[in-house]
A and B are shown apart, each in its own frame.
Chain A
Amino acid sequence: NAGVTQTPKFRILKIGQSMTLQCAQDMNHNYMYWYRQDPGMGLKLIYYSVGAGITDKGEVPNGYNVSRSTTEDFPLRLELAAPSQTSVYFCASRPTRASSYEQYFGPGTRLTVT
């Protein structure tokens, strides 16, 4: 299993540009998450999904959109990028069973908006 994969690893955007961060998992996990990690801060939840076709907002959803058309993929869309979106973005997934809430994280995407 590849686990959770994210592309790209690095990206520089100009203000106002748009892009999609890709996330895929091959563990058949229903739950998937997008976080951002700012320097010296913990992770903040942007969006999450409990299964294909179902998404919901986390703590910091403004400026982002998500979709979940398949169990495997959970892309994060940035529209009109702003410098405040400079961050490291982590995707995660977890199994559905209640006995296993631990999340499996991808390697992260480092995004700079200038």
Chain B
Amino acid sequence: AQKVTQAQTEISVVEKEDVTLDCVYETRDTTYYLFWYKQPPSGELVFLIRRNSFDEQNEISGRYSWNFQKSTSSFNFTITASQVVDSAVYFCALSEATGNQFYFGTGTSLTVIP
């Protein structure tokens, strides 16, 4: 069965601090996809990144970076020099190879204090 665990329910940081959001997943598939989505207070869901199981390269996009480690089944997300606009709930998600079904973690609520 597929499962995504985000153990950190809530995190608060002071502006300009770095913060890492953890994501651990379970799957028996050899081909799968991992995602991060952002849900700001307005409620919409915004896609951030997709990573497939064959690509373990870390990725950096501006202040955002992602660390994918198959050995520990983790796909962690780091925000460098956090800003107030980063305050949101962040969801990690997993899809099996067909992309028919997606499994979301329970989310981590990040508050950046000015």
**A101: which B residues are within 8 A, CB to CB?**
33, 35, 50, 95, 99
On A, residues with C-beta under 8 Å from B are 31, 33, 35, 40-45, 48, 50, 56, 58-59, 88, 90, 92, 94, 98, 101-105, 107-108
Q: How far is the CA of A6 from the CA of B6 in the complex (A)?
A: 28
Is B11 positioned at the interface, with any CB of A under 8 Å from its CB?
no
Which chain B residues border A58 with CB–CB below 8 Å?
A: 101
Partner of A42 from the list B4, B43, B44, B50 (CB cut-off 8 Å) is B4
Query: Taking the nearest CB of chain B, how far is it from the CB of A45, in angstroms?
Result: 6
**A-facing mask of B91-111, CB < 8 A → 1, else 0?**
101010001111111110000
Contacts A33-B102, A59-B101, A102-B35 aside, 5 further interface pairs with beta carbons under 8 A come to A45-B101, A59-B103, A101-B99, A102-B50, A107-B44
Report whether over half of chain A's contact residues are helix, strand or loop; otherwise say mixed. strand
Sample of 26 A–B contacts (CB below 8 Å) = A31-B99, A40-B9, A40-B107, A42-B6, A42-B91, A42-B104, A42-B107, A43-B91, A43-B93, A43-B102, A43-B104, A44-B104, A45-B101, A48-B100, A59-B101, A88-B43, A90-B45, A98-B99, A101-B33, A101-B50, A101-B99, A102-B47, A102-B50, A105-B44, A105-B45, A107-B43
